[in-house]
């Protein structure tokens, strides 16, 4: 049973790489997007405010970290936890701008407005929040589903890992026992020789 807690690293490699790239995008695009006039107000690069920190940089960092964990770990519970955190962070990209006014001071977590023209507003909304969050949740859910199922390959890997332990036990418990014939002294006590006691075949 404990062997099924191990999972091949290739199981979450692709999902982890995608989550890493999406997390880096979500965390860095508000800082470098103004260089390409692809941003929310304020349209200045490398400007960090409360809204960008809580609604974009922090969830992006969580998604990127979850992607790194998925690519590196071979322990199933840790990989599943990373996928769940990525899904929560992706949902925060979608819902953060709607939920934050309920618990934050008015205007303190205002994400601003898209700075692009009418044809770029939809692209900016999708690339910064809505579309990005939906894609992250989808990939995280896909990774979580693959990690939840114990495949036949995982069972065979666990059996191969346990085989060396069961093979060594009989060797250490059983050792060959040899019987030796008792020796008896035929000479004097101070310098006699010893000969094996055999059957009485002398006259």
Q: What is the pLDDT of residues 86-104, one digit of tens each?
A: 999 999 999 999 988 887 7
- pLDDT-derived band at 58 (thresholds 50, 70, 90) equals very high
Tell me, yes or no, whether 150 lies in a domain. yes
Tell me, yes or no, whether 194 lies in a domain. no
pLDDT value at position 25?
A: 98
pLDDT at 155 over 60: no
pLDDT at 190 over 90: no
pLDDT value at position 182?
A: 56
* pTM score of the predicted model: 0.73
- pLDDT-derived band at 11 (thresholds 50, 70, 90) equals confident
Tell me, yes or no, whether 171 lies in a domain. no
Q: At what angle do helices 76-103 and 13-32 cross, to 10 degrees?
A: 30
What kind and span of H or E run contains 192? none
Tell me, yes or no, whether 175 lies in a domain. no
What percent of the chain is modeled with pLDDT above 90? 51
Cis peptide bond upstream of 91, omega within 30: no
CA distance to 73, 75, 159, per residue, from 5 (Å): 11, 6, 12
- pLDDT-derived band at 172 (thresholds 50, 70, 90) equals low
Alpha-carbon gap, residue 129 to 93, rounded angstroms: 5
Task: Write down the mean pLDDT value for the chain.
Answer: 81
What kind and span of H or E run contains 195? strand 194-196
Number of domain units in the chain: 1
Tokens of residue 76, six digits: 């199933």
Of 119, 158, 140, give the one whose Cα is nearest residue 16. 140
Average pLDDT value for residue range 150-171: 54
**38 within 8 A of 145, measured Cβ to Cβ:** no
- pLDDT-derived band at 203 (thresholds 50, 70, 90) equals very low
Tell me, yes or no, whether 137 lies in a domain. yes
| Residue 192 neighbours by CB under 8 Å, 6+ apart | 185, 186
Alpha-carbon gap, residue 90 to 102, rounded angstroms: 19
- pLDDT-derived band at 166 (thresholds 50, 70, 90) equals very low
Higher pLDDT, 164 or 76: 76
> Virtual CA dihedral for 53, 54, 60, 64, nearest 10 degrees?
90
Domain hosting residue 149, numbered range: 2-156
Average pLDDT value for residue range 119-135: 94
Q: At what angle do helices 13-32 and 130-148 cross, to 10 degrees?
A: 160
């Amino acid at each position: 049973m404990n062997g099924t807690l191990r999972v091949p690293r290739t199981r979450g490699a692709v999902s982890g790489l995608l989550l890493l790239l999406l997390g880096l995008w979500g965390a860095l695009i508000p800082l470098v997007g103004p260089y390409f006039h692809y941003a929310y107000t304020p349209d200045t690069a490398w400007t960090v405010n409360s809204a960008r920190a809580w609604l974009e940089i922090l969830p992006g960092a969580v998604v990127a970290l979850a992607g790194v964990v998925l690519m590196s770990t071979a322990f199933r519970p840790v990989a599943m936890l990373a996928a769940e955190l990525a899904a929560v962070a992706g949902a925060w990209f979608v819902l953060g701008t709607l939920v934050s006014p309920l618990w934050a001071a008015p205007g303190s977590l205002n994400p601003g407005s898209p700075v692009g023209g009418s044809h770029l507003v939809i692209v900016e909304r999708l690339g910064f929040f809505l579309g990005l969050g939906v894609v992250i949740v989808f990939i995280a859910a896909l990774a979580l589903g693959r990690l939840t199922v114990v495949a036949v390959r995982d069972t065979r890997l666990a059996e191969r890992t346990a085989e060396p332990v069961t093979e060594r036990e009989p060797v250490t418990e059983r050792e060959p026992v040899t019987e030796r014939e008792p020796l008896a002294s035929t000479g004097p006590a101070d310098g006699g020789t010893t000969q094996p006691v055999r059957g009485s075949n002398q006259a």
